[in-house]
Structure 1
Amino acid sequence: KMHRTVLALVNIFICGCFASPPNFILLFADDLGFGDLGCYGHPTSLTPNLNRLASGGLRFTDFYCTSPVCSPSRASLLTGRYQTRSGIYPGVLYPGSIGGLPLNETTIAEVLKPMGYATAAVGKWHLGVGPKGMYLPTNQGFDQYLGIPYSHDMGPCRNLTCFPPDIKCFGLCDVGVVTVPLMHNDVIKQQPVNFLDLERAYSDFSTNFITTSVKKKQPFFLYYPSHHTHYPQYAGPGAAGRSLRGPFGDSLFEFDTTVGNLLATLEQTGVINNTLIFFTSDNGPELMRMSRGGNSGLLKCGKGTTYEGGMREPAIAFWPGTIKPGVTHELASTLDILPTFAKLAGATLPRVQLDGVDLTGLLVNRGKSQREEMIFYPTDPSEMYGLFALRLGKYKAHFYTRGATHSGTTPDKDCPVFAVLKAHDPPLIFDLEADPSENYPLPLVGRPDLQKLLDRIMKVKAQFEASMVFGESQINKGTSPELEPCCNPSCSPKPSCCHC
């Protein structure tokens, strides 16, 4: 009883006089660039609800993911650990991947469940399916799941409808595999998924989860990793044709509409003042898709690269009455969400090497961030090469640079895949406050102050690399066609017969 009393007092102190544990909603956009939202300066994006979060919450200017591609970024978000520790590298998981996020990794959901939280995931999982669905969200701490277990372009989409009345999806997507399934928990509800109804289903699932949890007087954690705005974009009747940005803008608007539905549900159920909503994105925009691929604003390059455009993300923390509206230039990362949620809920941290820091002081008291550095790994990290880049304070050092297929078509010659791997010794150093576009490396000659800075950077690099133990690569375990989700597993011929 004494322990419960102390815990309640701690929660009251931390949460700004809220006696009950706060609810959490974690919104994770897909391939959304630093320059894609209206509240981050895009002139024609239609994002009124995300703009509301930004104007009423704390908007970050220096917030990072941990990888410029999907699966490793998601692993870090949910575990508070770099993807190299959990083995979600190189690249991403596929429909038939044998591996997945190891079950001995502890997710945010598994941290919160012992505190009595209801937990649900809706949308893009992309952390493995595996034999008998062993890596699905319901085996990783989530009570419920509705979504596509990987990226929605990982299946043939040539004849699928992405916009009403019958506008086919742009491109071919992946061929030779099963069509994209919609799963409820570990059961396939629909294959292929109906993109025109998908966002409505996600919105209904999410609002019902909130309403049910409130009726049960149970704190909740909703994790919503959206498919919007990853290629191929899609939108239903309520959003199609509404934006000035075309397909990308319509897709973004449909996601924003769901954010509005969540806000309305929080208000109707009376828990909006006891709910922390955190929004960010998994990696930068896929510039190879041109106007359909997103925008990194003034940042250099995009998805697939360790330049700022690949890994610096929009991020917003919204909690009426607890987080004061404003803008912060403090350094923060997706790694920090697990320890922050744990602190606010009074939960115990996993007994493993965490890379995240608690942001409670920054969010609630507008204090300084505990994060001083950010590590940049490429899509294919290795112990031989180590870090590609490191940010320390306002300075960023590039030890290696390389373009990526995902960032093709841009006029910047450093972004496409033709920009091959280059080693830099001494590293290229940029002042990101003066030069966020990474255009002008600082000259080291005649600058003893920068030489001291470089010494500090190299020391931090050496310390971090000494602490990094690479986990077994889950992606290198390979794939098997038999593991691709099929609603009629005994049918033939596969994969075309997997249809229901």
Structure 2
Amino acid sequence: MDLASLLLLFLSSLCCSCCFGAAPPNFVLVFADDLGFGDLGCYGHPTSLTPNLDRLAAGGLRFTDFYCTSPVCSPSRAALLTGRYQTRSGIYPGVLYPGSIGGLPLNETTIAEVLKPLGYATAAVGKWHLGFGANGKFLPTKQGFDQYMGIPYSHDMGPCQNLTCFPPDVKCFGLCDVGAVTVPLMYNDVIKQQPVDFLDLENKYSDFATNFITTSAKKNQPFFLYYPSHHTHYPQYAGPGAAGKSLRGPFGDALLEFDNTIGNILTALEKTGVINNTLVFFTSDNGPELMRMSRGGNAGPLKCGKGTTYEGGMREPAIAYWPGTIKPGVTHELASTLDILPTISTLAGAKLPQVMLDGVEMTEILVQQGKSKRETMMFYPTDPSERFGLFALRLGKYKAHYYTRGASHSSTTPDKDCEIFAVLKAHDPPLLFDLELDPSENYPLSLEGKPDLQALLERMKRVKQQFEASMVFGQSQISKGIDRNLEPCCNPQCTPKPSCCRC
């Protein structure tokens, strides 16, 4: 039997472990918010205090070439949970708001819905940001999750200037959305607190997550925990356990508090004896919000950040941790948030959704530190359209920019390509970069006298055309508009809104 056949046999036994009487694997998926490629100590930041994430990186597989699908929140989350580019599900342009009429369509299949038929317990805790809708129709409990605790959108989508972000009574930095209802904390589809208490929020999340793990383990029930954190999105916050404890100020304190929760999750996995049967996967939704300067995160050596299709906007830290199954190391293989759903499906022995998927399973990368099945990565802007198509495409180690544009989220940096005044610019021929030699995208490759690069661009053009021909844009959910009456309010009949929405 050749090596490929042996590997296939091994993966089949691993992914259908329940067929042999072994317990099916558990999954913990951690999704950071606005975290840059250079924000973690294990990715090179000199003053970040993240001992638990560093532990994951030291004991797991750290990715250097891992991508989200959008440089902003909602579309990136849609792609993560469905394994499909956000253009297919209609989560574009931009992001969803408290009063958005649309949301992730209920006919889209999430990771939770893939696992439910196999008897998995499923829970989400933290930032949903895929719609609230009339009577909470788009909440996680309508998308395959048994339980949910969290804020259904971004925690800056509400007036925050009078709220306390750090003890003893340090007010939130900035103004946030003054005209919206105060930010609610929900349990399933019920508002438990409005406005949310930022100082105690992470404690609640940590308790919820660890209780879910403990309860599931006691029942011998396989589980899927999805933890999309609010840290380190603006405005940063942290309770007494982390405030003032880092060297990076408010951003570092928020990152430390986030890391503490990850540590509590790992402890719960250890105490319940399931850590060796659990895949913990960590990554982020998009790059850092550089417009906040030192409070906005760090892209490391990468160009620009949130809102852009440069590397800093969409290349993310990512770590896969599974003691006894995933060997410690570093992989330079190409991978994406799109690949998480098919990978979890393979490992659990679940059926894939009968729709066009953009993800590929990456068990060979995880288990064997082998080659990726992914050859390409597509880069859509925050406002994708059929008229412009892809802004950029990566094939192997090369990336071609067909359009470039700055963004308000990445303004304030010395690089003029990043700021909002860097207007849309078409490139024909496209700007071509070798990302292994030049991950900062500083030096476009010259095509003159290089027929090999010219042939490469022709191949990339064909790949781009083939992909765009296969892309069917779903109805834009965000373009359905906003109805302020849909904003979550714990006293729905009260007046005057939004100030009366308090409980």
Output the TM-score relative to the length of structure 2.
Answer: 0.97
Match in the other structure for 2:4: none
Match in the other structure for 2:67: 64
Write the distance in 2 (CA, Å) between the matches of 1:288 and 1:202: 28
Write the distance in 2 (CA, Å) between the matches of 1:478 and 1:326: 46
Residue number among 140, 144, 155 corresponding to 1:141 in the alignment: 144
What is the correspondence of 1:53-452 to structure 2 with a 5 Å cutoff?
A: 53-452=56-455
Write the distance in 2 (CA, Å) between the matches of 1:185 and 1:293: 31
Map Cα deviations across residues 194-253 of structure 1 (whole Å, 9 max, x no partner).
000000000000000000000111000000000000000000000000000000000000
How far 1:8 sits from its partner (Å)? 13
Q: Tell me the SS of whatever aligns to 2:37.
A: coil
Q: Identity of counterpart residues, as a percentage?
A: 82
Write the distance in 1 (CA, Å) between the matches of 2:491 and 2:211: 29
Write the distance in 2 (CA, Å) between the matches of 1:8 and 1:48: 33
Say if 2:127 and 2:150, in contact at 8 Å, map to a contact too.
Answer: yes
Question: Over aligned residues, Cα RMSD in angstroms?
Answer: 1.4
Question: Is the alpha carbon distance of 1:299 and 1:245 closer, same or farther for their aligned partners in structure 2, counting shifts above 3 Å?
Answer: same
Write the distance in 2 (CA, Å) between the matches of 1:174 and 1:391: 36
Question: Is the alpha carbon distance of 1:273 and 1:164 closer, same or farther for their aligned partners in structure 2, counting shifts above 3 Å?
Answer: same
How far 1:86 sits from its partner (Å)? 0.1
Map Cα deviations across residues 63-99 of structure 1 (whole Å, 9 max, x no partner).
0000000000000000000000000000000000000
Q: Tell me the SS of whatever aligns to 2:71.
A: coil
Question: Is the alpha carbon distance of 1:84 and 1:36 closer, same or farther for their aligned partners in structure 2, counting shifts above 3 Å?
Answer: same
Q: Tell me the SS of whatever aligns to 1:152.
A: coil
Map Cα deviations across residues 272-331 of structure 1 (whole Å, 9 max, x no partner).
000000000000000000000000000000000000000000000000000000000000
Residue number among 478, 487, 491 corresponding to 1:488 in the alignment: 491
Q: Figure out how many residues of one structure are paired with residues of the other and give that number.
A: 494
Write the distance in 2 (CA, Å) between the matches of 1:71 and 1:405: 17
Say if 1:11 and 1:19, in contact at 8 Å, map to a contact too.
Answer: no
Q: Tell me the SS of whatever aligns to 1:460.
A: helix
Q: Tell me the SS of whatever aligns to 1:454.
A: helix
Match in the other structure for 2:43: 40
How far 1:12 sits from its partner (Å)? 3.8
Say if 1:11 and 1:344, in contact at 8 Å, map to a contact too.
Answer: no
Say if 1:59 and 1:327, in contact at 8 Å, map to a contact too.
Answer: yes
Write the distance in 2 (CA, Å) between the matches of 1:13 and 1:142: 22
Write the distance in 1 (CA, Å) between the matches of 2:464 and 2:301: 27
Q: Tell me the SS of whatever aligns to 2:370.
A: coil
Write the distance in 1 (CA, Å) between the matches of 2:328 and 2:465: 38
How far 1:366 sits from its partner (Å)? 1.4
Match in the other structure for 2:3: none
Write the distance in 2 (CA, Å) between the matches of 1:386 and 1:445: 27
Q: Report the residue type matching 1:432 in the other structure.
A: L
Output the TM-score relative to the length of structure 1.
Answer: 0.98
How far 1:19 sits from its partner (Å)? 1.6
Question: Is the alpha carbon distance of 1:382 and 1:18 closer, same or farther for their aligned partners in structure 2, counting shifts above 3 Å?
Answer: farther
Q: Report the residue type matching 1:88 in the other structure.
A: I
Q: Tell me the SS of whatever aligns to 2:377.
A: strand
Write the distance in 1 (CA, Å) between the matches of 2:466 and 2:23: 40
Question: Is the alpha carbon distance of 1:85 and 1:13 closer, same or farther for their aligned partners in structure 2, counting shifts above 3 Å?
Answer: closer
